[in-house]
Amino acid sequence: MANIASQRIKREFKEVIRSEEVARCSIKVELLDDNYSQLKGEIAGPPDTPYEGGKFLLEIKVPETYPFNPPKVKFLTKVWHPNISSVTGAICLDILKDQWAAAMTLRTVLLSLQALMASPEPDDPQDAVVARQYKGFPEIFISTAEHWTNIYAGGSRKKEEYSKKIERLMGIGCNMDQALVALSGCNWDLDKAIEQIFG
């Protein structure tokens, strides 16, 4: 790993550890290897959003050319959000692409991701299915995102109706992830979801 890169990450690592956000349990980073090229991040779902109460894990890969190029970040925890792929966890955020500046840090990235969770940008979507629901059926979007937060990130809000529909699909041979993705994508229309999986 290039000299500047590891030097910077070491420094930033300490910065995050000491930051007041960590004190509030809002963000966290962990080292995964000795040469500082792989880290695990964690952000708390922002309050007053469907993600409230959830803990979201992030994979952070630091390129050789860091900090002149942005870190590669994706969600490890599954999340229902217009700018995050519900399947791969890939993120659509300008500062992780062409709006990155060398003076930005891991802390800026984590805080920006939290801000993104609080205010999605459906016109620049990563997941078109989610974005369509966000714009067309905002109430279904909120309860779906809450349900996902409950299942994958430990949030407390969920809908019994949704759980039952998932069980129905699991009863006919689907696994949970598959059932959840299909139902969420079909606005919880059971027949459509069945058709999508088996059709």
Partner 1 sequence: MMAECTINDNIDESDSDYSDEDFETYYHPMEYGDSEENHNPVDAEDPELFPVECLTMEQVEMFLNEAVNSVCHILNINMSLAKLFLLFNNWDVEKIISGYKLDITSFLISSRVLPTLQSQQQSANIDDNDCQCEQQQPGSGNIINDNVFICPVCTCSSLKSLGLCLECQHTFCTECWTTYVEVKISEGQSTEITCMAQNCNLLLQEVIALKLPISSYLKLQYQHFAFHNYVISHPLLRFCVGPNCNVIFKAKQSLAKRIVCPQCKSVFCFKCGDSYHAPTDCATIKNWLTKCADDSETANYFSAHTKDCPNCNICIEKNGGCNHMQCYKCRHDFCWMCLGDWKGHGSEYYECSRYKENSETANESAKARAALRKYLHYYERWQNHAKSLKLEEKTLEKIKDRINQKVMNGSGTWIDWQYLLDAAALLAKCRYTLQYTYPYAYYMNNESKNLFEYQQAQLEAEIENLSWKVERAETTDRGDLENQMYIAEKRRKTLLKDFFQT
Q: Is 92 a catalytic residue?
A: yes
Task: Look at residue 47 and give its three-state secondary structure.
Answer: coil
Nearer to partner 1 (CB atom), residue 7 or residue 163: 7
Q: Smallest gap, in angstroms, from Cβ of residue 64 to partner 1? A: 9
Q: Does 61 bind partner 1 (CB under 8 A)?
A: no
What SS3 class is residue 137? coil
Q: Does 23 bind partner 1 (CB under 8 A)?
A: no
Task: Report if residue 108 touches partner 1, rule: CB under 8 A.
Answer: yes
Tell which one of 12, 45, 62, 117 touches partner 1 (CB under 8 A): 12
Judged by CB under 8 A, does residue 164 bind partner 1?
A: no
Is residue 21 a contact residue for partner 1 (CB under 8 A)?
Answer: no
Q: Which two tokens stand for residue 99?
A: 């709006």
User: Quick one: which of 102, 115, 128, 172 contacts partner 1 (CB under 8 A)?
Assistant: 102
H helix intervals, the chain: 3-18, 20-23, 106-118, 128-136, 138-153, 160-171, 176-185, 190-198
Tell me: does residue 27 bind partner 1 (CB under 8 A): no
Considering only 53-61, 100-108, 125-133, 184-192, which stretch makes contact with partner 1 by CB under 8 A?
100-108
Neighbours of 34 (CB within 10 A): 9
Query: Which position among 25, 92, 174, 186 bears the catalytic label?
Result: 92
- Distance from chain centroid for Cα 142: 15
Residue numbers at the binding site for partner 1 (CB under 8 A): 4, 7-8, 11-12, 15, 65, 67-69, 101-105, 108
Q: Give the residue numbers marked as catalytic.
A: 92
